[in-house]
Chain A
């Protein structure tokens, strides 16, 4: 029904051909500097690795169906869960929203023709592919059995492809830095005339805070990983006590990056949700500045709390107290956002299209994910729960649950813009429901497993834990079937003719003012902003488009 809302702007047949077909051919894609094409290539790559990481996840869950060996040996199991984690973190969740959706949507939302450094953007994609190839090659070297956290001295002494995997993560870091630099410059320099900082769509604020972390924290990871490689290859003795090093130092370095990195994984999700909820509530966002500033606050606070991953590693009492104290402050901006989103829906005109269904499931899942952080931020309860399935469940709620479901919301939101086609909405609603149910069925039991004492990364376990593991494994299949359904109808939609209107959802941000799919240069001329991003007062007010020669 919303499809017919607005067809103003440049909804008529484009004069230039759209960016998907002009120019044609594989070579033109591989050498493109168009942010939209780069975004799509990132998206397909992320989908691919999500499939690979997902298959490893299902294997892990099948193995855990019984307390002893089910389908693989302990060595295999350790490699499978490591690869699952490393692929999901470095190749899927970190790039999913910023590199795929961000690349596609950010310049459109700003009314820009492209990102600030288009060639750097293409380079970041190739760097990503290189890193991905290296990560996959480790399989041929006997795999990696360290877990995605690479804790020393285990990682500096075990065999297999650890060195290559660590180098892969190092390379992938550069891809992330390039994207971050590009986004910061783009947001500073390429906003449409009339778009002040506080007239930017909130998605841009989310990308901005993410980019800040990417360029400030990733170098620390890069150095840490290089040190680990040197340790393995040259035995320099920084982390290995046998060589006079300190194994806990690695954890400090690692989490100094990786804690902020968990916010690289969630701020983009906030960014997507802040677009979807106003559009499908047809109402201006509640507390724009609070949402914008809380993203930046989370990005900055994220640098001060890394050692909360190490409360049981023998820190001093004082250090533990400080890190715990600061960690709690992260809960506040997260809470503020949730209330703001719900307030945006209040007295709105709510349309339950697929993106909105995913946004609602995000709200529920993130509530659990964020609140379960409190158990881990509090010192005495963390001592019990650290390194158990409780933590596994907590971070899946925020990473897999919140980040991926927000990613799905974004995919469904911008799909008609990307391809000029609509997916089957009934199947989309079923898919969203299956993902929500399957996700909770998989991970809710794991909270109980963890608080009952089941440690993480266990191949064998005590029989008393079996029923909860079985429940979790069944959940994983429901989740997988939802995701397969989504993949199937999205692909099927691409076989229809392009017939989408410019603004199928009645959105008020600039990307809806151009064709679906957009032309190569995004807009006919330079769009000039005439109302705020979520301003539904004039209903619907056309946006002025100055004709420019280009």
Chain B
């Protein structure tokens, strides 16, 4: 009967799906059984006791306490069993393990945005490592949405004004479909996302190089995105005004003096060094306060910053 389960349910792809599937199939068989059981009783009665003459007399049976007790108590036990089974699965799906990776999910009409622990953001594509618990912390910017992953057997509403959580441990590499399950207007049925369940190598690549969007973005645009999102803009202006750090306006190719008096030239190597080891060369007249971005920026993002600085004239 495996084909039957495979037809009724999408292929399970997270740890606690098995529990849900077991209960699901149990109730499916229960339903099928009682449908045919009741159907057979009715068919039997209709054929055997079909009215043959208007004068037929029927026995006057008003009730049968013993039988009625039996058919109340047996279902009671069955449904209590189902309750506990369902409760067990729900509890399992409730409490995330302590070591789960936390990803912030923001829903808005009609996209899903994901933010990773390192600050990376992606739209509609979520990358997670295989066999590692992931916890989603979700909120909505407008109406109620609902994050639904059929192959994980999981769903949780995403609500404006409060956080809800969902966690899972993916067990199948590949792509899983995400739907929005709470009606949210015109784009409701197009509010789809995908979860890329990556092998460790793929996930490494993702962390190093970003997802497809980042990989495909022109370097200059990527640099601008880094400038805006990773905090460069708090200290460096683009229009020549002096901030905590030197403005980026027109610095490409310039030469200047470091705090220690040594001259430097703004080229690719200099920028790279300033991002990863800011204290190596501190521009004269500025405090050595810039933090290192070691580990926070990917190689391609640094190249993007270089391209972007080239373009700020």
Interface-lining segment among B81-89, B119-127, B303-311: B81-89
> How far, in Å, is A88 (CB) from chain B's closest CB?
17
Residue numbers in B under 8 Å from A461 (CB-CB): 189
Q: Which residues of chain A are within 8 angstroms of B142 by Cβ–Cβ distance?
A: 153, 157
Within 8 A of B (CB), among A464-512: 506
Inter-subunit contact A324/B160 (CB<8 Å): no
Whether the Cβ atoms of B87 and A75 lie closer than 8 Å is no
Nearest-neighbor residue (CB-CB) of A146 within chain B: B183
* Pick from A78, A312, A336: contact of B156, CB under 8 Å: A312
Q: Which of A5, A145, A364, A380 contacts B38 (CB 8 A)?
A: A364
Mask: chain A, 154-167; 1 = CB below 8 Å from B; 0 = not:
10011000000000
Contact between chains at B27 and A247 (CB < 8 Å): no
CB-CB < 8 A to B159: which residues of A?
241, 247-248, 313-314
Contact of A453 among B61, B93, B150 (CB under 8 A): B150
Asked whether A18 is an interface residue with its Cβ less than 8 Å from the other chain, the reply is no
Determine which of B51, B90, B155, B185 lies in contact with A78 in the assembled complex, contact meaning CB atoms within 8 Å.
Answer: B185
Question: In the complex, A314 Cα to B51 Cα: how many Å?
Answer: 55
What is the CA–CA distance of A158 and B75 in the complex, to the nearest angstrom?
Answer: 45
Which of A45-53, A98-106, A340-348, A417-425 is the interface stretch?
Answer: A340-348
Q: Which B147-165 residues have a C-beta within 8 angstroms of A? A: 148, 150-151, 153-157, 159-162, 164
Instruction: Write out, one digit per residue, whether chain A residues 317-332 have a CB within 8 A of any chain B CB (1) or not (0).
Output: 1001100110011011
Tell me if B216 is interfacial: C-beta within 8 Å of chain A. no
Partner of B58, one of A153, A343, A536: A536
Closest CB of chain B to A119's CB: distance in Å?
Answer: 40
Most buried by B among A78, A348, A386: A348
In the complex, per-residue mask of B283-299: 1 if CB is within 8 Å of any chain A CB, else 0: 00000000000000000
B144–A284 contact, CB under 8 A? no
Closest CB in chain A relative to B193 CB, distance in Å: 13
A9 interface contact, C-beta 8 A: no
Partner of B86, one of A317, A324, A331: A324
A151 contacts across to B, CB distance below 8 A = 144, 182-183
| A-chain residues with CB within 8 Å of residue B183 when the two chains form the complex | 146-147, 151, 154, 456-457
The interface residues of chain A lying within 8 Å CB-to-CB of B38 are 338, 342, 363-364, 367
A451 close to B (CB within 8 Å): yes
Known: A247-B144, A371-B27, A381-B20. A458 touches B58 (CB 8 A): no
Asked if B136 is an interface residue, CB under 8 A from chain A, the answer is no
A74 touches B148 (CB 8 A): no
Please report the C-alpha to C-alpha distance between residue A377 and residue B23 in the assembled complex, in whole angstroms: 12
A57-84 vs B, Cβ < 8 Å mask (1 yes, 0 no): 0000000000000000011001000000
Q: Chain A contacts of B91 at CB under 8 A? A: 317
Residues of B within 8 A of A78 (CB): 185-186, 188
Tell me, in angstroms, the Cα distance from A457 to B90 when the chains sit together.
25
Contact with A along B15-30 (1 / 0, CB 8 A): 0100110011001001
Is A153 touching B143 in the complex (CB atoms < 8 A)?
Answer: yes
Binds B, one of A203-211, A252-260, A287-295, A513-521: A287-295
Q: Are A350 and B50 in contact (CB under 8 A)?
A: yes
User: B161, A536: Cβ atoms under 8 Å?
Assistant: no
A378 vs B202: C-alpha distance when bound (angstroms) = 37
Interface string of A161-189 (1 = CB under 8 A from B): 00000000000000000000000000000
Contacts of A381 in B (CB 8 A): 20, 23-24, 27, 86, 89
Write the nearest CB–CB distance from A447 to chain B, whole angstroms: 8
6 tightest A-B CB contacts, nearest first = A380-B89, A453-B150, A241-B161, A378-B86, A379-B90, A458-B189
Cross-chain pairs A/B with CB under 8 angstroms, 5 sampled: A314-B157, A378-B27, A378-B87, A379-B87, A383-B153
Beyond A284-B58, A384-B24, 10 additional pairs, beta carbon < 8 A:
A324-B90, A329-B79, A335-B72, A338-B38, A348-B45, A348-B49, A453-B177, A458-B189, A536-B57, A536-B60
